[in-house]
């Protein structure tokens, strides 16, 4: 075997191994979501095969079926299933709340970020690099450092425990990264395109909306996916800013009760929450890889 071919095979095997290592926790998580109670809490050790798959965990979390009814159907396992406390495991409202907040914050972030990124890409001013670094630095600060002031501000403004409040705060968190990502895509569009459109009689707004923006739609899609994922998975701010509104991460945290941890329901809801993000990533993966490098890779 030629040395070059051997290196290629070794590289491919190493890549498969790395992917398998990262995918195993996700696969195990999904596998646990279809396990019955007895297989999840088997005292003899982890159960990989040899169990009867069940949709009961999804029926409780996604369809609102009572876990007491599930326990009655399972007969001898009923006591184990219903001992986890009095919390409600119906998660349909949480999925809807997360979707509203994620879509709303993503849309608001894109509107603001595209305008800011286009201006930063096309206009030169003194201290621009310092200003860009300042924008990036806003993402350095961990949410725990600002959550208490935000709670008091939102309480006084009447935004606490509202969809509007969560959409605003998620947009603020996503905005710095979205601006920098979109700027990298706008930078790849030659300024001559703008100049040609302006010479042909287009206004600056028309140049932006009808000429330049369609040329970076892939970058906009990649940025939208990132903003959606960050909002969809955000936990800390959603926990502190809401009481009646529970997003999916906050809802999952309630499955840990004083008497038990409902791993079946946790894995079922967690697996369901992964699916939208996974689909969106597949749709824009080519642009997403380039966006994550802030434009250092060309298409």
What are 191-243's pLDDT values in tens digits? Answer: 888 888 888 888 888 888 888 998 888 889 889 988 999 999 999 999 999 98
The whole-model pTM stands at 0.84
Packing angle between helix 163-187 and helix 147-157, nearest 10 degrees? 120
Residue found by looking up tokens 């894995």 in the block: 267
- Give me the sign of the Cα torsion angle 143, 144, 146, 151: positive
Dihedral (CA of 86, 89, 95, 98) sign: positive
State the pLDDT confidence band at 2, using cuts at 50, 70 and 90: low
Bridge partners for 256 per DSSP:
261
User: Which of 67-71, 125-129, 142-146, 183-187 has the least mean pLDDT?
Assistant: 67-71
**Residue 102 contacts residue 169 (beta carbons within 8 Å):** no
Mean pLDDT over 173-197 rounds to 89
Which residues make Cβ contacts (< 8 Å) with residue 211, sequence separation at least 6?
193, 194, 197, 202
**Residue 296, pLDDT score:** 44
List 261's β-bridge partners, or say none.
Answer: 256
Nearest to 169 by CA among 181, 157, 185: 157
Residue with tokens 């309480």: 155
Helix axes 263-283, 56-63, angle to 10 degrees: 70
68-109: per-residue pLDDT in tens? Answer: 777 666 655 444 445 444 457 889 999 999 999 999 999 999
**CA 1, CA 178: separation in Å to the nearest integer?**
48
From CA 243, how far away is CA 160, in angstroms rounded? 9
Q: Given a cut of 70, is residue 41 above it in pLDDT?
A: yes
Mean pLDDT calculated for residue range 271-292: 77
Residue 21: pLDDT over 50: yes
Q: What's the pLDDT at 295?
A: 47
């Amino acid at each position: 075997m030629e040395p070059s071919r051997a290196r290629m095979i070794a590289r491919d095997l190493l890549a498969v191994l790395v992917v398998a290592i990262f995918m195993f926790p996700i696969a195990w998580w999904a596998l646990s979501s279809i396990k019955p109670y007895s297989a999840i809490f088997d005292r003899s050790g982890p159960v990989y095969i040899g169990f009867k798959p069940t949709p009961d965990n999804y029926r409780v979390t996604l369809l609102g079926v009572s876990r007491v009814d599930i326990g009655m159907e399972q007969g001898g396992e009923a006591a184990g299933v219903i001992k986890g406390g009095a919390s409600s495991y119906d998660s349909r409202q949480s999925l809807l709340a997360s979707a509203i907040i994620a879509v709303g914050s993503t849309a608001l972030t894109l509107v603001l970020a595209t305008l800011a990124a286009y201006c930063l890409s096309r206009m030169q001013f003194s201290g621009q690099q310092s200003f860009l670094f300042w924008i990036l630095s806003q993402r350095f600060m961990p949410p725990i450092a600002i959550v208490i002031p935000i709670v008091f501000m939102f309480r006084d403004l009447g935004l606490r425990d509202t969809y509007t409040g969560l959409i605003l705060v998620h947009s603020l968190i996503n905005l710095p990264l979205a601006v920098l990502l979109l700027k990298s895509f706008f930078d790849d569009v030659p300024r001559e395109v703008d100049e040609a459109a302006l010479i042909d009689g287009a206004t600056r707004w028309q140049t932006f909306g009808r000429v330049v923006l369609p040329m970076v739609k892939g970058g906009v899609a990649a940025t939208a996916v990132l903003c959606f994922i960050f909002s969809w998975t955000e936990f800390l701010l959603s926990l502190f800013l809401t009481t009646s509104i529970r997003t999916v991460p906050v809802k999952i945290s309630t499955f840990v009760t004083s008497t038990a941890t409902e791993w079946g329901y946790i894995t079922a809801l967690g697996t369901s929450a992964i699916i939208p993000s996974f689909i969106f990533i597949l749709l824009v993966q080519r642009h997403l890889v380039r966006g994550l490098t802030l434009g250092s890779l060309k298409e």
